[in-house]
Structures are given as C-alpha cells and as structure tokens.
Chains A and B, each alone.
Chain A
Amino acid sequence: MRYIEPHAHMVSRTTDDYERMALAGCEAVCEPAFWAGFDRSAVEGFHDYFSQLTEHEPKRAAKFGLKHFCWLCINSKEAEDVKLAEEVIAIIPKFLECKNVLGIGEIGLNKNSRNELRVLEMQVELAAKHKQLILVHTPHLEDKLKGTRLILDVLKNDKRIKPERVIIDHVEEHTVEMVLDCGMWAGMTLYPETKCTPARAIDILETYGTERLWLNSACDWGVSDPLAVPKTAIEMKKRGHLANAVEKVIFQNPKKFLSQSPNFKIT
C-alpha cells in the first residue's frame, strides 16, 4: 500500500514517526504552516519557522526515503494581530521560490473574528498574486459551520481563485457538501477525539463519492496519529472497498490535486 500524507506537522513529530510512516507506505508528506501552540512574538520567529519547513525538514524526511513538501502562511490563531500578520505575509514571497513549497496554507479562520477574516483576505490576495494553490483550515467544533461558510464566501467572491486549486480541510458531515458543491476539494482529518474517525470518513466517502476528497492525519503536537491514513485504508478494506478504490483516495487523489503545483514531483 502506498499513500501520500497531505497534511502533517512533522516539526512536532519524532524521527520515529517518519520511520513508521515510511514503513506503512508513505511516499510523500506535506506540511502546512501552523500554530506552534504559543504565539510567536515577532516576524523573525516566522522567518525561522519557514526556513525550518523549506530547508531542515526535507532533510529529516529524506533520511527515510520520504519526499517533504510544505505550505506557507500565518495561521488563523495568530491572525488577531493584523500588524504582525502584514509583516509575516511580506516575507512569504521570497520563500515561495523554494523547491518544496506547494502554496499558501493553512490559511482560514479560527474564532471567525473580523481580524481573522481580514488576514484571510490578505492571504487569498497573496495566493492570487503569486498564482499559488490554497490550503484552508476550517475552525474547530462549534465554530466550523459558520467559519466554513465565511471562508467559502471570501473564496467565491474572488474571481481569480479557481475552485479546483483550493482544498478546504477538516470537513465533517455538516460542511463537506457545501465545499464540494463549490467545485473545491475537501480534506477529511482523522483525529481520535475531534474531527473525523476512520469510520465516519468512510461514511462520507460512501455518501459523496471519492472525487475531490482526501484523507489526512494532521498529526501535530496534540492528540493525533501519524498513521491515521493507512489505518483508515485498512478500515476501508474491512468495509469491502477494493484496493484500487483505496489507492484512489489515499494516493491518486492527493497526487492529482498537489500536482497542480510545479514543485510537487514524486516518482
């Protein structure tokens, strides 16, 4: 079984996790920029983080035969400070020239505030100006439904943004349909406690089909499982899905979306 992990925060994981993912069949891991668990005090903190994502992390992954790609942005949890966000956005273009950068992400909303929305619009502008793919984080729990609607409004109102070049991540049963109806891609995040369980993710696949959907672990420093994607593949087989249908969801689909970036190359 081969798969692509399209959303993992490997800076927060151990080297053992890279090894286990490689053993499970992972061929490439894609790392969106996210919140460190605390607010960074200055733009220099982001500069160092982007350097880590573009220079250091690919070398860690390569030790286990894994290709490493990344997305760049200021995440929505640090977007309440608009001045800091402007400074961070200003340093992103030079990093877009790095060979493992796939686009702008994970941008989006957290608490659905005015400033978060303003920073989201600024980063959609950045993506449009530099013709980048977009990866979107949707809010947690009670904030997800409203936040997803606000995010889709921003993206649909910008005619430069092609829906097939946008992935809306962390969808659940109450948000997946509105995302797919817009022509965008939808990501299902497999978490032990929140977001989707493997069984629910497969329910969604059986209900809405396998077009423009992918699975990810979004493993980070919190409660999460870097092997959630291959474990869900096993669950799909238990549910009677054929091997080629499983491969479509865990390998071909992410490959199809990510290959829209000229930097995404796997053998």
Chain B
Amino acid sequence: MTKQQILGLYFLDARGKLIELAAFLDRVERADGKDDFRIKSFRAALTKLSGKQNQKAKKVLIAFSDPTTGPIFKAEGKGAVGAFRGVK
C-alpha cells in the first residue's frame, strides 16, 4: 500500500490514540503521589517513538520488558503488570 493509503486507513485511529495517550499523561501528572516503575517505563518507551528509525513497536515492547536472563526463584502470584518492576 502507498503511504497515502495507509494514512487513509489508520490516521484517524492513531490520532485518537495519541490524544488518549496525552490525556493519560496529563491525568497522571495532575494526580498526587510519586511516580512508580510503570510510569517510568512508560516515559522511557515514549522516547522510542521519535525519529524515522524502524521497529518502533519492537523497541517499545523491549522498553517494558524484564531485561534479566535467569529464572526467578519462585513465582509470587500469576499476573503481569505491563512493566518491569526493577526499572530505575
């Protein structure tokens, strides 16, 4: 597909999602309390969106990922939260 065709199919949807994302950040920043690992990961992931380099989705996913390599000692619970707790 051409760039124009892709924009025709997805621009409005992506625009809407971008505004939702901006409003989410405004909401977090208005709220009382300290940042946690989730919003720190989120801000780190946002830096992967700028520029024209490829594989932005892959880089965002990696920014949220556990970068360690070995198994953990024991699973405490079953769920995932979307960001690595050890992020600094």
**Cα–Cα distance between A80 and B55 once the two chains are bound (Å):** 35
Residues of A within 8 Å of B64, CB to CB, are: 141-142
* CB pair B74 A172 closer than 8 Å: no
Residues of A within 8 Å of B5, CB to CB, are: 240
* CB pair B80 A115 closer than 8 Å: no
Main secondary structure on B side of the interface with A: loop
**Cα–Cα distance between A174 and B74 once the two chains are bound (Å):** 25
User: Given A145-B61, A173-B57 in contact, is the A80-B80 Cβ separation under 8 Å?
Assistant: no
- Of B1, B57, B73, B83, the residue contacting A113 (CB under 8 A) is B73
User: Given A142-B66, A142-B82 in contact, is the A173-B71 Cβ separation under 8 Å?
Assistant: no
CB closest chain-B residue, reference A172: B61
How many A residues, CB 8 Å from partner? Answer: 30
User: Chain B: residues with CB nearer than 8 A to chain A?
Assistant: 1, 5, 9-10, 55, 57-58, 61-62, 64-69, 71-84
- Of A80, A110, A115, A146, the residue contacting B66 (CB under 8 A) is A146
* CB pair B80 A112 closer than 8 Å: no
Q: Mark A142-153, 1 if CB is under 8 A from B, else 0.
A: 111110011000
The minimal Cβ–Cβ distance linking B58 to chain A, given in whole angstroms, is 4
User: Chain A: residues with CB nearer than 8 A to chain B?
Assistant: 35, 77, 80, 110-117, 139-146, 149-150, 172-174, 199-200, 203, 238-240
CB closest chain-B residue, reference A116: B75
The minimal Cβ–Cβ distance linking B63 to chain A, given in whole angstroms, is 10
Residues of A within 8 Å of B78, CB to CB, are: 35, 77, 110-111
* CB pair B71 A112 closer than 8 Å: yes
Residues of B within 8 Å of A35, CB to CB, are: 78
* CB pair B9 A239 closer than 8 Å: yes
The minimal Cβ–Cβ distance linking B79 to chain A, given in whole angstroms, is 8
**Cα–Cα distance between A117 and B67 once the two chains are bound (Å):** 18
Residues of A within 8 Å of B57, CB to CB, are: 172-173, 200, 203
* CB pair A80 B75 closer than 8 Å: yes
Residues of B within 8 Å of A140, CB to CB, are: 79-80
